[in-house]
Structure 1
Amino acid sequence: MIRSMTAFADGEINLDNLTILCELRSVNHRYSDVSVKLPERLRFVESDVRHLIAGKLKRGKIECTLSYKKQPGSQSLTIHTETLEKLLTATAEIEKRMNNPQGFSALDVLMFPGVQQEAETDKEQLQKKITHLLNDTLNKMLDTRAREGAQLASLLMDRCEKIAQLVQLANSRMPEVLNNLRTKLISRVNELVAEPNFDRLEQELVLIAQKLDVTEELDRLQTHIAEVLRALNQPEPIGRRLDFLMQEMNREANTLGSKSADREMTQISIDLKVLIEQMREQIQNIE
């Protein structure tokens, strides 16, 4: 089963007076690149989050965002009295030294960092909840990747079938190409030479046939097609392997074009390269 690298998944879970939210986004990337965004209160789980993501998503640029919000009705404030006392003492001392001190409101005091104190949440319980949430969200993302991967596999198999048809057409076309070339050369020699040396002519035709022979290229294309179809059924990530196979197939198609001796073989080479490029673009998104 192949998986796409493009997917999105989200989820949330409740703990005490908090709702914890998780969002996962992934796009294609040559390697595995995991970035984690989370508030300071959840910073202690970053290492576990990275490890969990890397264990399930082998390739792609993955962005994980963890956040939390207080549930409605739980917006009570707790004042950190020690910080408040220190702040008021410092403020009074500063005002003594000012010529024209300006007053401030209680809201101004509440805005000062550390004055408001959030209720402590058990970190062990919080870590378990986040792990459970992340696992659920990762499973959703894997399902999305698998669904899109199945569609990509269908497209690739369709292209492989068309490439195989073109290879078969080229194989059947080559004897006719060589025969046409032989007839054309003999006719041309007869026009130019009164008594041609047909033995020498046959030797030259053999050399030309060897230069135009594309049997090896067509055989390798068939082998690469079989390998692509085999790889599509593998459980492990195959994106890089398929990308390499596309490079090899494109090289064979280019060689086929350079050895082309007539218009139809040139067109087959062009059609092959178009199909291979279409496959390569899709493979860029496979894990």
Structure 2
Amino acid sequence: MLNSMTGFASAKGAHGAHEWTWELRSVNGKGLDLRLRLPDWIEGLEPALRARLQQALARGNVNLNLRVQSSDQGGRLALNGAQLDDILAALAEVETRALERGVTLAPSRPADLLTIRGVLETATADSDTAPLRAAILADFEPLLAQFLAMRQSEGTALAAVLNAQIDRIAALTDAAAEVAESRRADMTATLQKQLARVMDNAESADPARISQELALIAVKSDVTEEIDRLRAHVAAARALLSEAEPTGRKLDFLAQEFNREANTLCSKAQYAELTSVGLDLKAVIDQMREQVQNVE
């Protein structure tokens, strides 16, 4: 069963005097890139959430945001270091680009930065955050389940598209095999005419050498191996689509192999109808490669 790398989930939770909001989203990525924005004052929260995400996901650029607020009047304000770092990095880039264009900006004031949403958060006055951490971690599970369900739903749709494309590739491969067989007589007649013309105009030519050259031409125009490999790739792709484990990387590699065989088929065609089939193959394979980029 395929999973997409695209997903989104949001939720709200509460424990005692604390309320929080979740937002979990992901897009395509070559590997697993986790970016977490969490309250720094809740000890042990980030490693626990990071470990859970690493356990549940294999690939994708994943962003997890958690904002915690307290209605406790005895609470205190705490600085969200991760949020501040992102803001400072953005400011530095803005200033650098401004200098490159000769634009002078007014200096940023700390008070202005503190008014940006998320930089200051309300923290608990109680130094023991273990109960709150436990409640938040428990509340994360349904959020993650919702997120995974969306990725699975997207993956089911992807599987249907990919199966249809693989069926099309299989049909075009069979068509290429039929065209290659039908052109065999034409290729043989052409080679015989070329041989007769060469022999008539080259009295001193070595017949063995000529035979070798013609045999080489015949080998270079034979697409049997390409068709066999395309059929093997079709079988491998169908097997990968039925696996339970993440197969996005393998499918991406297989799509490249499909494309290589289609290119070779076109270069060997020497026959308009076979070239047309090869170009249709390349078009479907390119569409398949685009879809594969979304697979976990």
Q: Give the TM-score normalised by the residue count of structure 1.
A: 0.78
Q: Which residue of 2 aligns with 1:42?
A: 42
**Secondary structure at 1:69 match in 2:** strand
Q: Which residue of 2 aligns with 1:225?
A: 234
Q: What is the Cα-based RMSD across aligned positions, in Å?
A: 3.0
State the partner residue of 1:130. 136
CA deviations 1:149-201 (Å, max 9, x no partner) are: 0010001100001100111011111122121123345456778987999x989
What residue in structure 1 maps to residue 253 of structure 2? 244
1:29 and 2:29 are equivalent in the alignment: yes
CA deviations 1:114-170 (Å, max 9, x no partner) are 9x9854375221111111121111111110000000010001100001100111011
The answer to whether the 8 Å contact 1:177/1:262 transfers is: yes
Amino acid at match of 1:135: E
Distance in 1 (CA, whole Å) between partners of 2:181 and 2:190 is: 14
Residues 50, 118 of structure 1: alpha-carbon distance in 2 compared, 3 angstrom cutoff: closer
Unaligned stretches of 5+ in structure 1? 81-110
117 and 13 in structure 1: CA distance in 2 versus 1, 3 angstrom threshold:
closer
Unaligned segments of structure 2, at least 5 residues:
78-114
Structural mapping, 1:47-58, within 5 Å: 47-58=47-58
Q: Structure 1 residues 204, 176: closer, same or farther in 2, change over 3 A?
A: farther
**Identical pairs, percent:** 36
C-alpha change, 1:273 and 1:69, in structure 2 (3 Å) is same
Task: Return structure 1 stretches of 4+ with deviation > 6 angstroms.
Answer: 188-197, 199-204
User: What SS is found at the alignment partner of 1:286?
Assistant: coil
3-state SS in 1 of match to 2:186: helix
Give the Cα separation in 2 of the matches to 1:141 and 1:264.
Answer: 48
Match of 1:216 among 215, 225, 243: 225
If you compute each CA radius of gyration, which structure gives the higher value, 1 or 2?
1
Deviations 1:41-87 (A, max 9, x none): 335411111111111011111111111234xxx4635699xxxxxxx
SS in 2 for 1:10: strand
Q: Give the letter aligned to residue 243 of structure 1.
A: D
Q: Secondary structure at the match of 1:21?
A: strand
Report the secondary structure of 2:229's partner residue. Answer: helix
Alignment of structure 1 residues 58-207 onto 2, 5 Å: 58-70=58-70, 74=71, 76=73, 118-120=124-126, 122-186=128-192, 206-207=215-216
Deviation at 1:203, TM superposition (A): 7.4
Question: Letter of the aligned partner of 1:15 in structure 2?
Answer: H
| CA contact 1:182–1:205 (8 Å) conserved in 2 | no
Higher mean C-alpha displacement, 253-262 vs 119-128: 119-128
Match of 1:108 in 2: none
* Structure 1 pair 43–279 and aligned structure 2 pair: CA distance change class (3 A): farther
Tell me the amino acid that sits aligned with residue 11 of structure 1: A
- Aligned partners of 1:177 and 1:261 also within 8 Å: no
How many residues were matched structurally?
250
1:58 partner SS: coil
SS of residue matched to 1:42: coil
* Alpha-carbon contact 2:24-2:63 (below 8 Å) kept: yes
Counterparts of 1:65 and 1:78, CA distance in 2: 21
CA offsets, 1:237-270, max 9 Å, x none? 1000101111111111111111011111111111
Contact 1:2 1:153 in 2 (8 A): yes
